[in-house]
Chains A and B, each alone.
Chain A
């Protein structure tokens, strides 16, 4: 009986970018969850488990990046982005799913994870604040920017493909 396995795998898959590493991380996370169970104070198991999955993924990613330290995510750098215009509407109609996935895979991790946690795993802002370890206000602004950035990057790629 393994609750939340799909949620765990989904998060790991989006963070690691491939099935092989995602499987390793999930395996590792369940073992840790099992060992750390004494520290589980009750409540909802899903955010608790996803916190562990997330930690396992990031420590594996850090190890892989021997070239240099991972950049801290700077909220201000990802601030103002102009609102996309009517092109956005057209793009939405076309709903280029492949482009969406490609763009999502290249978003900064901090943005990718917040989209996965909220829009796919449907965690509340409060739960995300606990899992990621950031204030509630930051969850709100980061999620809004992440969605905007994802769409913006899709539009950029879209116009590059149209006018090479």
Chain B
């Protein structure tokens, strides 16, 4: 009985996980068709591009938010500025460069990958690889077939808790 229940639960869980996109997307797909009472909104593509550029820039007076996220006044001003520049025909690269010229490197939320900045991109990956390498090397060089206490490698008895094993020994010997 439990195995069938198990299968049912597993499938149910899987289906629910998989269906999450539908549930979540429905909330956003409906945006395509505004209701009759809503005002027609400005161009969606422009919005998306503004958000994309703004999410690369750091709000100058906030803790750690992007210009896209922040509700602060200067961020709203910057978003409108980006929109105007896009409408005037500037490319995203030019717009980002303009903000770099005004504020300096700190306005970018992610450091440009050049010079010393490369360290922040390379060190984590390098660190991982080095640690992984050390770990694998140690495993390979020391790997021996030790054998479990009763002489058989991988014996299930060996997988028990120390408590369980003690209990088991006692039980085998006839105690309880």
Q: Do A and B come from one complex?
A: no
Residues of B within 8 A of A (CB): none
